[in-house]
Amino acid sequence: MIKNTGQSTTSEIGPPEVVIWAINKTYGHGNNAVRAVSDVELILEPGSTTALVGPSGCGKSTLLRMIAGLEEASSGTIRIGGEMPHIVARKGRLSVAFQDPSLLPWRTAASNVALARRLAGLPKDPEKVQKLLSLVGLDGFENKRPAELSGGMRQRCAIARCLATDARLLLLDEPFGAVDEMTRRRLNLELPRVWEGQGTTTLLVTHSVTEAVLLSDRVIVMSHRPAHISADIPILIERPRRASHLSSPEFVTLVTQINTALGIVDEPDEPDEGPFIVPEVR
Amino acid sequence: MTLGNTFLFLRNAIRLNFGQLRTFFGQLRTFFGLVALLVVWEAIARFAFTQFYIVAPPSAIVVRIIEDQALFGRALSTTISEALLGFLFGNLAAIVLAMIVVVVPRIERLAQAIVLVVFCLPLVATGPILRVIYGPGWGPQITLAALSVYYTTFVPLVVGLRAVPPSWLDLIASYGRGSWTVMIVVRVRASLPYLIASLKIAAPAAFLGAIVGEFTGADRGIGVLSIQAMRTLDVDGTWALATIASVVAIIGYILVGWIGRALSIGDPPVLLVTPMAKAPKNRWLKFSLMIGAPILSILVILSLWQFSMDRLELSRFFAKRPGDVWAYLVTGLHAAANRDELFSALRETLVVMVPGYLSGLALGAGLAAVFCMLPAVEKIVSPIAIALRSIPIVVTAPLLVMATGRGSLGMVSIVAVMIFFPTLVSCLHGLRQAPGQVIDYFDSFRVPPLTKLFLAQVPSMFPSLFASARMAVPMAVLAATVAEWLATGTGIGNLMALTSSTSNYNMLWSCVTVLTLVSVAGYSLVAMLERLVLSRFAPEQVTI
Amino acid sequence: MKLLPITRRESLSFLAGAAALILTPAGLVFAKTNNTTINFQLSWLPSVQFGGSYVAQENGYWNDKGLDVSLVSGGPNAPVEPSVVVGTSLLGITAADYASAAVAEGAPFKIIAVAMQKNPFTIASLPGNSVNSPADLVGKKIGMAVANTPILTAFCALNNIDINKIDIVPTQYDPAPLVNGEVDCLLCWLTDLPVAMTVAGVENVTMLLADYGYAVHSQTYIVTENTLKTRRAEIIALMKGEIQGWNTYFEDTDAVAELTVAKFPDLGLDLEIQKLQAAKQVDLMSSALTEKFGFGWFTDKTVAENIATLGLLGREVSADLWDRSILDEIYS
């Protein structure tokens, strides 16, 4: 009974709108000041999936951390469903997946996933934990500790953990970075169904242009540091997305368009060979 | 410039200055923390204990140091020279030994055992023995300084020399080069952070060793002066010397750290469990190794003992061989009485040492957890704790006895204080070591600090806690025996001092043997516990 | 990967080398090379306690006799006996009880002279609550090194006092417990803690154990049986200079205190303490016997008294431990 009421109250809330207004972020001061994010303005529609792409170290992750309430902006405002990020965080209504899987080494895979519910102040739900673990292909590994899992498995476990709460805002910071290519593609196609089913607003930071196009409704291209928005490209491919979309002319055009915005001109058939990884630009 | 831009400019200017102000206030807070401490100290000394010869006020200490600066300066230069030579020899030996162990892993178990045993030798007893061997001069001071540093350098260095990505090794191998090339090209550089971290601890330790060495009949030095001051009721002098010794030890610590930073060598990860060679699969082989390795180590150590004494032609009057100790404790005429005397003294020591050891650890770990929750307090306490960690126990033991009395409570607190500071510093470091972005993950839920502490930070502190618990075992023995010898006249520390003045060298060597065994056993027990706990809480540390 | 051409044997000898490096890093560098000097092992840190020897050295009494003597300091953790047994030092200073203990452990010692006729052990107390006679000890708290328990036991036996009626508190090298009221009295040396207390302005009362039957020669000169035969001439010359030094010492103790403080500038010795100690020490060193026969003298009677007290201390000794032949030859 408790479980049902819990779910019904959360679904009543619905995916939030995220408003990012005139955000600036500067580290250090005086002559050592480094400007990481410069005047970013962005509105994430409720229930949409937005991808952030840009050169390494451009400030994408900083932006995501500010939305998660982990860092404060030097100036500007962020509102999630009209509330401040740290208020939303305290209510357990946002969920973050980091580049590093950051699992607790002394807990099993299942217990790491279950921990998320505890931290968000939610009742236990072993069924959901089990369902998420099998979704990310960790059947039979529930009772293994992170040290006994491969790098990719740990990353998948972290993704499962991210989905374990009833968060309506998912902040994914390069979550498939350490996952092998085949699994990555499978997760790319399967995971959106999970969060689309739950009804979430999603922000995804990624290096892979293919992944960005495949997963999102909109791709934001960030410039080199200090990060600002250099292109905003809507992705109008119908959902659910399938593997066949990868080779459609529409898809290839979008990938080329984004790569151009990133300042890279490609051979047109390259995206077929896999996701294009933006090279390190310093 | 538009009005908006001007406004932005001004706002940023204020914000930037505010950032500078914040760091400035941080330093100011540490400074005022120290000043407040000094004021309280001065007040206590001036008003609370005036009729007692216990506490010297800071102002009197400063006056005394200025008055006697020439005397203290000469003593200091002697002790520092001895400590430097010991530092050099001890670390050199550790470096050479660590490199050999890494290149020839087959001798590792043996080398580790021998090195540990030498580390566990009680300084109170080795002092007089070394004095007899060396005669007058700097020999014992330098040797004791060397003995107090080599182990804390050796263990992390072995870890550091191994902390190399396997792909680098493959790269060197693909050019057809062997272990020595790997050593020179890769390992030496990779181990530098570990070396610097251990040298930081070694600097104060060498100073402490030199002072203990000076108790063995030196003509000059800080150790000689502190004995004089203590015996002549010179409270200001005792405190002045303790202050000087502490400051020098702290400067040594800071200096090495500064050199490390100048060479831009970062901090290494927490000191890991000494990684051991993988156990063989075959059950019989495993079993025989488990039994055989310690037996072999013991045999090698015993023959080294016998061989080195015979080789140096040391007189049997004081340089007892393993056989003499065996006869004295087991087969001899009065063996039972001798055993009784030895073990009752040992019991007396253990009764205060074990509670002191445990409460020092608990206090260190507990306060680290508390400070972790109160970052403002931590900012004040942390630098002070790092400083106090370097204070040589020998010069503070009399002060602690003065303050806490000569009963068992005083002894327990001496041991506890000796262990408390290193544990606190190590645990504070460990609390900041939560793996990867775990802390970020917890912060993304804004969970209460206590939940974060117990779910994430305390478990990730375990490797640090156990690392310091292991190293604290011989330290507790040193603290307890030195305090017994200098201040209370009880237990095995006193028995050792006593037997050397009544020429009962059989008993002295028996004490050395038994105390070393106790140290090694305690160390091994903690190491076993460590593997057990870490295999659950930090498996990556055990399997590397 | 190429295997390194290191055999097991080589690696073991490596290890042995490294171990030797740990155990004796400075042994070769700091070993004494000059064999012509004679080492004289003193029993404690430098102070006027050895004032006579410093006079002998400074005034060239030994140089005159063709000796180059090096005075080796002792300390709380530096035993005298092994240094004499091994031959590092030709002559050593120790107390009769320690010498007899060493003999029991197989050291071939002979006591050839006695500097302190009276044992310096004292019971020090404060005037308000003083210990003036052995009977006053009953019911008192006494601070002392546990190691010295046999001394108190022997003293109580000599004076028919039940030791169980005295409360022993372990203390060490330090007058603070008495001054702070932790104990009622201290077992210590007359020339040591009481002097420090007096100079620090703490009035105190002392009771010398030697005045109540506790006869143990202190600051005795020991040599081995072997050197007594083989290096007799050197020992005689050494003792002649030593006696000369002490005789000069008795003439002006203040001057010796000044000499001592100047000779050891790095020890931070307090001149006032040294002067008082130098003066007080004279009472312990001179007696009717030394007036008559000279510094260092002992007789069969004093030896017998010593053997009796040492027996109470649990030390079985024979009169053979004492050998007066050197003094006889010097004073004849």
Check whether B353 has a pLDDT greater than 90: yes
| Contact call for B215 and C77, based on CB within 8 A | yes
Tens of pLDDT, residue by residue over C131-168, are: 999 999 999 999 887 778 888 999 999 999 999 999 98
| Contact call for B455 and A94, based on CB within 8 A | no
Q: Is residue B317 domain-shared with residue B393, that is, in the same domain?
A: yes
Q: Is residue B219 domain-shared with residue B256, that is, in the same domain?
A: yes
* Single residue among B229, B249, B268 that ends a domain in this structure: B268
Asked if ipTM goes beyond 0.90, one says: no
Set of chain B residues whose Cβ sits within 8 Å of the Cβ of A31: none
Mean pLDDT in residue range C205-217 = 94
Say which residue, B399 or B263, is predicted with more confidence.
B263
- DSSP annotation of A16: P
Check whether B530 has a pLDDT greater than 70: yes
What is the rounded CA–CA span in Å between residue C322 and residue C113?
8
Q: Is residue B116 domain-shared with residue B163, that is, in the same domain?
A: yes
Q: A2-93+167-265 falls under which CATH superfamily?
A: P-loop containing nucleotide triphosphate hydrolases (3.40.50.300)
Measured on CA atoms in the order C55, C59, C65, C66, is the torsion positive or negative?
positive
What is the rounded CA–CA span in Å between residue B377 and residue B390?
21
Residue C244 confidence (pLDDT)? 95
| Contact call for B134 and C31, based on CB within 8 A | yes
Tens of pLDDT, residue by residue over B393-441, are: 656 666 666 666 667 777 888 888 888 888 887 888 778 766 667 788 8
Say which residue, B136 or A200, is predicted with more confidence.
A200
Q: Is residue B109 domain-shared with residue B188, that is, in the same domain?
A: yes
Q: How many domains does chain B have?
A: 3
Helix residue ranges per DSSP H, chain C: 8-23, 27-30, 51-58, 61-64, 81-86, 96-104, 149-158, 176-179, 193-199, 225-230, 232-251, 253-263, 271-285, 288-293, 300-312, 325-331
Say if B543 is an interface residue toward chain A (CB within 8 Å).
Answer: yes
Check whether A9 has a pLDDT greater than 80: no
Residue B390 confidence (pLDDT)? 63
* Per-residue buried b or exposed e for C197-213, using 16+ beta carbons within 10 Å of the residue's own CB: bbbbebebbbbbbbeeb
Residue B161 confidence (pLDDT)? 82
Q: Answer whether residue B247 is part of any domain.
A: yes
Tens of pLDDT, residue by residue over B368-389, are: 888 888 877 777 777 677 666 6
Selected for mutation to probe chain A from B5, B446, B447, B452 (highest A CB count within 10 Å) is B446
Tens of pLDDT, residue by residue over A35-65, are: 888 888 899 999 889 999 988 777 888 899 8
Say if A68 is an interface residue toward chain B (CB within 8 Å).
Answer: yes
What is the rounded CA–CA span in Å between residue A18 and residue A45?
7
User: Which percentage of chain A shows pLDDT scores above 90?
Assistant: 13
Q: Is residue B37 domain-shared with residue B171, that is, in the same domain?
A: no
Q: Is residue B253 domain-shared with residue B304, that is, in the same domain?
A: no
Check whether B270 has a pLDDT greater than 50: no
Highest mean pLDDT: which of B298-312, B466-480, C316-330? C316-330
CA distance B438 to chain A (A): 5
| Contact call for B497 and C76, based on CB within 8 A | yes
Q: Is residue B68 domain-shared with residue B43, that is, in the same domain?
A: no
Check whether B275 has a pLDDT greater than 60: no
Tens of pLDDT, residue by residue over A115-139, are: 888 888 888 899 999 988 988 888 9
Check whether A273 has a pLDDT greater than 60: no
| Contact call for A101 and B436, based on CB within 8 A | yes
Rounded (10°) angle between helices B408-431 and B335-373: 40
Mean pLDDT score of chain A:
81
Q: Is residue B19 domain-shared with residue B74, that is, in the same domain?
A: no
End-to-end CA distance of chain A: 55
Instruction: Strands of B315-440 (E only): list them.
Output: none
User: Which percentage of chain C shows pLDDT scores above 70?
Assistant: 88
Mean pLDDT in residue range C11-34 = 41
pTM of the model: 0.75
Say which residue, A237 or C69, is predicted with more confidence.
C69
Q: Is residue B33 domain-shared with residue B129, that is, in the same domain?
A: no
Set of chain A residues whose Cβ sits within 8 Å of the Cβ of B440: 65, 70, 96, 98, 102
What is the rounded CA–CA span in Å between residue B316 and residue B327?
14
The CATH number covering residue B506 comes to 1.10.3720.10
Q: Is residue B411 domain-shared with residue B544, that is, in the same domain?
A: yes
Three-state secondary structure readout of B47-99: HHCCCCCCCCCHHHHHHHHHHCHHHHHHHHHHHHHHHHHHHHHHHHHHHHHHH
Q: Where are the domains of chain A?
A: 2-93+167-265, 103-165
Set of chain C residues whose Cβ sits within 8 Å of the Cβ of B157: none
Range of the domain at B330: 298-544
Mean pLDDT score of chain B:
79
How would residue B511 be classed by pLDDT, with cut points 50, 70 and 90? very high
Selected for mutation to probe chain B from A87, A104, A170 (highest B CB count within 10 Å) is A104
What is the rounded CA–CA span in Å between residue B513 and residue B245?
31
Q: Is residue B530 domain-shared with residue B396, that is, in the same domain?
A: yes
Q: Which residue of C has its CA nearest to B110?
A: C15
Mean pLDDT score of chain C:
85
| Contact call for B459 and A86, based on CB within 8 A | no
Domains contained in chain C, CATH given: 38-119+216-331 (3.40.190.10), 121-212 (3.40.190.10)
Tens of pLDDT, residue by residue over C98-135, are: 899 899 888 999 999 999 999 999 999 999 999 999 99
Total beta-carbon pairs less than 8 A apart between chain A and chain B = 78
Check whether C30 has a pLDDT greater than 50: no
Check whether B487 has a pLDDT greater than 60: yes
Check whether B34 has a pLDDT greater than 70: yes
Say which residue, A15 or C298, is predicted with more confidence.
C298
CA distance C132 to chain B (A): 23
Chains A and B: 3 or more CB pairs within 8 Å of each other: yes
Q: Which partners does chain C have (≥3 C-beta pairs < 8 Å)?
A: B
Q: Is residue B360 domain-shared with residue B447, that is, in the same domain?
A: yes
